[in-house]
Amino acid sequence: MTISVVMIVKNEEVMLPICLESVKGVDEIIIADTGSTDRTIEIARKYTDKIFCNYVWNDDFAEARNYAKSKSRGDWILSIDADEVLYDVGAVREAVALAEQHQAKAVDVFCVTGENTGFYYPRLFKNVPEVFWEGCIHNTLSVIGEKLGNVRFLIKNSPAHANDPDRSFRILKKDVETRYHPRSMYYLGREYWVRGDYQNAVVILGRYVLFSTQLPEKADAFLIMSKAFWAMKQPDDARDAVLQAIAINANFKEAIVHMAAMSWEKNAKQWNKMAETASNEDVLFIRTP
């Protein structure tokens, strides 16, 4: 099975060399540049001659990723961003072999964000028409990834993000207003929370949880709502919301720890005991190791 690394990049001269060094050894590297004005393309040419610069950026990451995918010829695709580093190319080949044995079309990669923290995300997938990217931002694949092998990325923070700090918020807001897409609602609520706009965070996430069927994401939404309510000095609403998160997943350690922090001493002691045994199984983002 041949493996193609497929990337979309823009103004990543700082991060790109580290990323490309980490994926050396795959069969093909495809890079779609979306308008770099720095040395990104010059650096990319040291690693591959398959660089495509004709794509016009349209505030739609799925569209760009699918364009880059269309240029690849490998049996399997590893999708990686410029500010990510692959731990081991050999692990990718082992995961592909396992996926072929299990007839899986996609494999979850563990994206490391800190010591013992991170999240799973489908980034290794079969290069077939029925597998493609969806969602204008915070994309996901058209198929479910399986946890096979041990492919890991280390996520770094690209300085290129500072060139358009409102990009995610802008794209998500537009997507929610035009399509009312559930996943975009979840991430827009997160954006409001990060920005300290707690009222809008609970409004958007409150709508999202009414019809979400993605339980790990839904549990995380309830936790963010709880934190927003707590910040607005609405303790009863905060406790009610986090209880919903724990009801979805009793192994959600961060939610249990948060409940303990909002509880009186006797109750806090019991919640903390529960947190000690929580495994974080099926948690979307593992932020509490």
Do residue 56 and residue 80 come from a single domain? yes
Q: Are 22 and 47 spatial neighbours (Cβ–Cβ below 8 Å)?
A: no
pLDDT tens digits along 244-255 = 999 999 999 999
Average pLDDT in the chain: 95
In a domain, 287, yes or no: no
201 pLDDT more than 80:
yes
Average pLDDT of the residues in 206-213: 94
Do residue 87 and residue 201 come from a single domain? no
In a domain, 257, yes or no: yes
Do residue 103 and residue 226 come from a single domain? no
Do residue 176 and residue 49 come from a single domain? no
Element (H, E) at 206: helix 198-211
181 pLDDT more than 90:
no
**Full-model pTM:** 0.86
pLDDT tens digits along 133-150 = 998 988 899 999 999 999
Number of domains composing the chain: 2
Do residue 151 and residue 57 come from a single domain? yes
Do residue 149 and residue 204 come from a single domain? no
260 pLDDT more than 90:
yes
In a domain, 289, yes or no: no
Average pLDDT of the residues in 182-197: 95
In a domain, 283, yes or no: no
Q: Are 238 and 220 spatial neighbours (Cβ–Cβ below 8 Å)?
A: no
User: Using DSSP, how many helices (H) and how many strands (E) does the chain show?
Assistant: 11, 10
In a domain, 282, yes or no: no
Do residue 155 and residue 40 come from a single domain? yes
Q: Which domain holds residue 218?
A: 166-277
CATH code (residue 145)? 3.90.550.10
Do residue 83 and residue 36 come from a single domain? yes
